[in-house]
Amino acid sequence: MMIDFRVYDESDAPEAARPMLEAAKKRMGFVTTLNAVMAESPELLAGYNALAEQFGRSSLSLAAKQVVLITASVENGCEYCVAAHSTLALRAHIPAEVVQALREGKQLPDAELEAVRRLTQAMVAQRGSVDDAEIEAFLAAGHTRRHVLDIVLGVGMKTLSNYTNHITHIPLDPAWQDQQWTHEQAM
């Protein structure tokens, strides 16, 4: 038996969550089911939104940010987030072959982005206990110490949404359907 979590909208969500859902609708054109379920806890929704905003401002390139978000979601087996971020990455003109490789957990052709993928994957798989050799390899690929910490921020943001999705079994939004993914695809 699965516990049902309510999918709210901006008119019936808890009062504190309504402005955040209204803002999400203005920003995205719709309220994602992720936000709609997170609205049950306005604090979770606010925390996730704050992390997303800060990660968006981070020093990583747009492509590197998408590498972090997709890689963390693949490593955590989050079908919803892989589909959503694959769609957003393609809309941001990240090459389709890069997005596909990320979805399959495969090496990227771009050395700088591959370093981001490898470090992100290691952070998630090792729950943050990445050894110095991994960090040194990342820095040797042209990244900075700040990039290391910005990846920590992205992984934290994705952990909130990945875990929420696992617990609540959020239905996939129609906007993400074309990029539907299952964790078997990464094996």
Kindly indicate the confidence band of residue 183, based on its pLDDT and cuts at 50, 70 and 90: confident
Total-model pTM: 0.94
Quote the pLDDT of residue 187. 57
Confidence check: pLDDT of 92 > 80: yes
The per-residue b/e assignment along 62-94, b for 16 or more CB within 10 angstroms, e otherwise, is ebbbbbbbbbbbbbbbbbbbbbbbbbbbbeeeb
Q: Other C-beta atoms within 10 Å of 31: how many?
A: 22
The pLDDT tens digits of the residues spanning 77-88 come to 999 999 999 999
How confident is the model over 21-51, as pLDDT tens digits?
A: 999 999 989 999 999 999 999 999 999 999 9
Residue 163 is predicted with a pLDDT of: 97
Q: With bands split at pLDDT 50, 70 and 90, how would you rate the model's confidence at 184?
A: confident
pLDDT score for 13? 96
Structure confidence at residue 185 (pLDDT): 67
User: Using one digit for the tens of pLDDT, what is the confidence trace for 108-142?
Assistant: 999 999 999 999 999 999 999 999 999 999 999 99
C-alpha angle 88-90-93 in degrees, rounded to nearest 5 = 115
pLDDT of res. 162: 97
Note the pLDDT of residue 186: 64
Pairwise CA distance, residues 39 & 30, whole Å = 14
What pLDDT, on the 0 to 100 scale, is given for residue 129?
A: 94
Distant-in-sequence contacts of 168-174, Cβ < 8 A, 24+ apart: 168/5, 168/37, 169/2, 169/5, 170/5, 170/7, 170/33, 170/34, 170/37, 170/80, 171/7, 171/33, 172/33, 172/79, 172/80, 172/83, 173/30, 173/32, 173/33, 173/84
Tell me what pLDDT residue 97 has: 95
